[in-house]
Structure 1
């Protein structure tokens, strides 16, 4: 199902982990408006970068989210977040570009310098910027881009 010009529903629900574990990661009907909103917002992200983006992880049903180590309050489980990468540059460069371009988001995270997490809110985008790093074997979130 085509959600927007550049994004399909399958990009939001595909998960190697779900496939391997036979987890149904279909988006419930009541969350489809959130996924559509996220796809619309990702069009803005794509335009700001001037390059395609590749979704690593989009919607996650609660069972899948738990299996991949996501927190129970994750915006992924509401269809309001994606992890992605782009040929635009490094995750830090991508984050900086989105900030400089004035892209509206709820949360933007440079994840271990491997990918970018971006979350949206239907009501109040807080413009939170974080960097995820490993400290003592645990992921910690530092304010801003580090």
Structure 2
């Protein structure tokens, strides 16, 4: 099902881990407005980058979220966040570009210099920018791009 010009519902629900573990990652009807909002915002991200973006993790049902080690309050479980990458550049370059263009987001995270997490809010985007990295086997967050 096509959500916007460049994004489909399947991109938001696809998960190799869910498939392997036979987890139903279908989006509940009450979360569809959030999915549509996120898809519309991702069109703005794509435009800012001038490149397609590849969603690597979109919606996660609570069981899938727990299995991948996500926090229980993850915006992924509400349909309000995605992890992605793009041919535009490195995760840091992508984040910097989105900041420089004035992109509105709730949370933007350069994750382990491997992908970008972006989350949105239907009411109040906080413009939180973080860098995640491993330290002593645990994920640590820094309140800036590094």
Output one character per residue of 1:26-51: Cα deviation in whole Å (capped at 9) or x when no partner: 00000000000000000000000000
The correspondence of residues 13-32 of structure 1 with structure 2, limited to 5 A, is 13-32=13-32
Rounded to whole Å, the distance in 1 between the matches of 2:39 and 2:26 is 16
1:119 matched to which residue of 2? 119
- What TM-score do the two structures reach when normalised by structure 1? 1.00
Query: Are 1:86 and 2:95 counterparts?
Result: no
Rounded to whole Å, the distance in 1 between the matches of 2:144 and 2:32 is 31
Rounded to whole Å, the distance in 2 between the matches of 1:64 and 1:58 is 11
TM-superposed deviation, 1:75: 0.1
1:55 matched to which residue of 2? 55
2:77 matched to which residue of 1? 77
SS at match of 1:93: helix
2:104 matched to which residue of 1? 104
1:136 matched to which residue of 2? 136
2:9 matched to which residue of 1? 9
Rounded to whole Å, the distance in 1 between the matches of 2:81 and 2:141 is 17
1:45 matched to which residue of 2? 45
TM-superposed deviation, 1:124: 0.2
Output one character per residue of 1:66-91: Cα deviation in whole Å (capped at 9) or x when no partner: 00000000000000000000000000
Rounded to whole Å, the distance in 2 between the matches of 1:53 and 1:122 is 22
SS at match of 2:96: helix
Gaps of 5+ in 1: none
Rounded to whole Å, the distance in 2 between the matches of 1:129 and 1:43 is 20
TM-superposed deviation, 1:2: 0.3
Aligned length: 146
